[in-house]
Amino acid sequence: MTHILAIDQGTTSSRAIIFDADMKILASSQEEFAQHFPQSGWVEHDPADLWSTTASTCRGAIERAGITAQDIAAIGITNQRETTLVWDKETGEPVHNAIVWQDRRTSDYCRELRDAGHEEMFTARTGLLLDPYFSGTKLRWILENVEGVRARAEAGELLFGTVDSYLIWKMTDGASHVTDATNAARTMLYDIRKRRWSTTICELLGIPVSMLPEVKDSADDFGMCRADLFGKELPILGVAGDQQAATVGQACFQPGMMKSTYGTGCFALLNTGDTPVTSKNRMLTTIAYQLDGKPTYALEGSIFIAGAVVQWLRDGIKIIRDASETQPLAENADDSQEVIMVPAFTGLGAPYWDADCRGAIFGLTRGTGPEELARAALQSVGYQTRDLLEAMKADWGGDGEDVLRVDGGMTASDWTMQFLSDIIDAQVDRPEVLETTALGAAWLAGSRAGLYPDMEGFAKNWALDQRFEPDMDEDMRATKYTGWKKAVAATMSV
């Protein structure tokens, strides 16, 4: 048993990756699934799609690796965070579509809670802001708006979970209703200092505590995957939300280390050690990982739209057929045009937290074409990252390397990474293994299984692929960023 099966259940696709005994990728399988947009600002997934694509990609990865379940030591799971599911504890039947982390339907309710003076209490306990991004108000919406659900929940018939909980419940045939501390910390229901569900918040939101899963370490015993799925019972030994798994995969184990992941959204985390740092700049305080009962905390900045802006170029306005086309387009853009895109398709995340503003493009001329739009889309990710890093560094105030470790699909673009380094005026390090989210989940499971090295040994294995150094004139950097800030201000005022 010298292999680890890592499940990476994301916002637009599910993936499974087989890692060998040296933590190298042996094989992978990936499937996209449908996104559902019932109303403006609403985003849903069919839970059946989450489960079917997860199961089929696992089988596909095992087959492509040329191994069997007999060769697998453990399963590690990483998942899109905050996405909210409620299902029948006996049948497993969901009562509603999964409400995705991007969904903004509870923005009015969050505003009501803020106006009533509750945000300080939420932040003190959970480290989060009152925003529809998180699971708590999504869960309340299901309880309030789906017929019969509240009565069933109060009768103890229904369970709540983020995607990890739902997958584990399905994989263990209902034997395990669990989550890990990193996912719990994103629900807006979990006290990250006392490390337990907050009864005060649950009562305020009208959520029965009986619905909530048991919270475990990130490397722990989460249950046994049933034998009929892959041919043998397999232990599930590692779980972490996707951004925390990427933090682990990037070996950001020392306070002051930072990573930024560029997937559908962009998420930057700064390790603050055993101290939860309260932000003065509307960053989030969260759990980076929890091992042996001890949480390590982080400051986090969340951008809702990163890779999704490239998907919009492809699927929305159809100026590209494949994401790889954006780099050559950006390279050929007209330097005399300063087109700025604010991709607030579902509102703006940190540090603005404006759920109601929507996207905008500034500086359009008759000469603006696909090249300039592609460049503006890629640059928007760099600008938003700078917003996050400046706020986190101001909060942290501690020592740390002025280096950003990056991962995710967009980091394959050298042009985008060079602009990122230029605009943040810092070194950007891209690792050899870009699948750091899955690698983090694999290491959590593999270390628990005794297959992989300890934290120190794992950190030594981190390997650099390419380093990007800032090469932009300071006046140019300042001019570009000032233009971005003006564009954001104009977008938020609409």
Task: Assess whether pLDDT exceeds 70 at residue 74.
Answer: yes
Each residue's pLDDT tens digit, 365-385: 999 999 999 999 999 999 999
- Residue 399's pLDDT is 60
From 210, 242, 274, give the residue that closes a domain: 242
Same domain, 336 and 375: yes
Each residue's pLDDT tens digit, 482-493: 999 999 999 886
Same domain, 294 and 217: no
Same domain, 118 and 70: yes
**Is the residue at 439 inside a domain?**
no
Same domain, 63 and 175: yes
Backbone angles phi, psi at 125, to 5 degrees: -85, -45
Domain tally for the chain? 2
Amino acid, single-letter form, for residue 101: W
Which residue range(s) make up the domain with 374? 250-431+463-494
The band of 122, judged by pLDDT with boundaries at 50, 70 and 90, is: very high
Task: Assess whether pLDDT exceeds 90 at residue 315.
Answer: no
- Percent pLDDT > 70 in the chain is 99
From 222, 242, 262, give the residue that closes a domain: 242
CATH number of the domain within which 113 lies: 3.30.420.40
**Is the residue at 72 inside a domain?**
yes
Same domain, 113 and 213: yes
Same domain, 359 and 211: no
- Residue 326's pLDDT is 87
**Is the residue at 438 inside a domain?**
no
- Mean per-residue pLDDT for 305-327? 85
- Residue 283's pLDDT is 86
**Is the residue at 451 inside a domain?**
no
Same domain, 317 and 174: no
From 178, 209, 242, give the residue that closes a domain: 242
- Percent pLDDT > 90 in the chain is 75
Same domain, 273 and 166: no
The band of 206, judged by pLDDT with boundaries at 50, 70 and 90, is: very high
pTM of the shown model: 0.86
Same domain, 13 and 147: yes
Each residue's pLDDT tens digit, 36-47: 999 988 999 999
Angle at the Cα of 113 from the Cα atoms of 201 and 299, rounded to 5 degrees: 70
Mean pLDDT across the chain: 92
The band of 175, judged by pLDDT with boundaries at 50, 70 and 90, is: very high
- Residue 409's pLDDT is 82
For residues 10 and 238, what is the distance between their CA atoms, to the nearest angstrom? 17
Radius of gyration of the chain (CA): 22
Each residue's pLDDT tens digit, 393-426: 888 876 656 789 998 888 888 999 999 999 999 9
Task: Assess whether pLDDT exceeds 90 at residue 434.
Answer: no
The residue among 403 and 63 whose pLDDT is bigger is 63
**Is the residue at 49 inside a domain?**
yes
Same domain, 43 and 132: yes
**Is the residue at 442 inside a domain?**
no
The band of 494, judged by pLDDT with boundaries at 50, 70 and 90, is: low
**Is the residue at 87 inside a domain?**
yes
**Is the residue at 224 inside a domain?**
yes
Same domain, 64 and 15: yes
Task: Assess whether pLDDT exceeds 60 at residue 222.
Answer: yes
Same domain, 226 and 261: no
Amino acid, single-letter form, for residue 453: P
